[in-house]
Amino acid sequence: MSAIKHRVRRGDWQRLFRSVYRLIDMVDPENLVRAAIAALPSAIASHETAAELHAIPSVQRGMAVVSVHTRSTHTFPGVTVHRNHDLSASHSCLVGGIPATSLPRTVFDMGQIVSEKQLRRIVDDLIAQRRVTVEELRIINDEVAKRGKPGSTSMRSVLAERAEGAEKTATRLELKGLAVLREAGLPEPVLEYPIPWNTTKRFDAAYPEAQVAIEWDSLRWHGLIDSFERDRRRDRAALLHGWSVLRFTWKDVTDHPLDVVTTVRAVLQPQIV
């Protein structure tokens, strides 16, 4: 102990916290994070650092970020420290030997620091890789999202687009899409129309006389890759049978309804003159 005190007095070591000393300047973010975790009570890697540990795409690398409980000491040189009161044991894991927020919790926390567009891309990439499910993200959202909490609004919006709700015919996107068509005075499509060359399957909506189908892509799937490939096979089959398939997303219907109307009207124009 006397040797440590001597080194501190001489300036060789810098005392950061009890039993934690800086011997040399730390420039490596991972070492900074490890030191912060050792020094701060219940600290774990989070946000950008956790995203890098989990190999989440499209997130800034080389950041030193941890989270601590709101009642804990919350400063550490060179490290961004977030204070959270809702970090439960189920929200943490070990990644490469470093305590970090779990993948679903990390995704939620990323909603605080990236745009909604980027969060949407991150979620889609992870679902495509089968590393996370909509249900896992929904559970995290239900546990920690609340009014005024950063990230809550973005995650709610992303999850709403990927609603896996009850009846397919009653999804929010389909109801909104039909409302857009009706308000524009377009003809009423036939809902749940059996695909003529494969009557075990159905289009979300169709104009049979015009051989035009509408698919509301609300991302109600569990496996993005399988669904994506299946939908493209369906589109190619439709083309071979003389049908056109128009696909509209939640963002199309909510942010660009005029584009939806213009597209449908243009395709149906010979029938509605």
44-82 pLDDT per residue, tens: 999 999 999 999 987 888 899 999 987 666 777 888 899
Reported confidence tier of residue 84, pLDDT bands at 50, 70, 90: confident
pLDDT at 166 over 60: no
Return phi, psi of residue 249, to 5°. Answer: -100, 175
Are 111 and 150 contacting, i.e. CB atoms less than 8 angstroms apart?
yes
pLDDT at 170 over 50: no
pLDDT at 181 over 80: yes
Rg (the chain; Cα; Å): 26
pLDDT at 8 over 80: no
The reported pLDDT for the residue numbered 221 is 45
Reported confidence tier of residue 13, pLDDT bands at 50, 70, 90: low
The reported pLDDT for the residue numbered 264 is 95
Reported confidence tier of residue 10, pLDDT bands at 50, 70, 90: low
Q: Is 100 helix (H, G, I), strand (E, B) or coil?
A: strand
**pTM value?**
0.58
Residues 149-161 have a mean pLDDT of: 83
| CATH class of this structure's domain 168-272 | alpha beta
pLDDT at 167 over 60: no
Which tokens sit at 158? Answer: 């992303």
The reported pLDDT for the residue numbered 223 is 45
Q: Which amino acid is residue 205, in one-letter code?
A: A
Mean pLDDT over all residues of the chain? 81
* List of residues 6+ apart from 45 with CB closer than 8 A: 33, 37, 53, 65, 66, 95, 98, 99, 100, 101
Are 128 and 224 contacting, i.e. CB atoms less than 8 angstroms apart?
yes
pLDDT at 115 over 60: yes
The reported pLDDT for the residue numbered 104 is 95
Tens-place pLDDT, residues 30-47: 888 988 888 888 899 999
Question: How many C-beta atoms lie closer than 10 Å to residue 8's C-beta?
Answer: 13
pLDDT at 185 over 80: yes
The reported pLDDT for the residue numbered 229 is 65
Q: Is 191 helix (H, G, I), strand (E, B) or coil?
A: strand
Tens-place pLDDT, residues 201-256: 888 899 999 999 999 886 554 445 556 667 777 788 788 888 999 999 888 998 89
Question: In angstroms, rounded to a whole number, what is the distance separating the alpha carbons of residues 264 and 95?
Answer: 49
The reported pLDDT for the residue numbered 86 is 87
Question: In the chain, which segments carry CATH 3.40.960.10?
Answer: 168-272
Tell which wins on pLDDT, 237 or 10: 237
What residues are paired with 45 via a beta bridge?
A: 66, 100
Locate all alpha helices (DSSP H) within the chain, ordered by sequence. 2-10, 29-39, 47-53, 103-110, 116-128, 134-144, 152-161, 172-183, 224-240, 250-255, 257-272
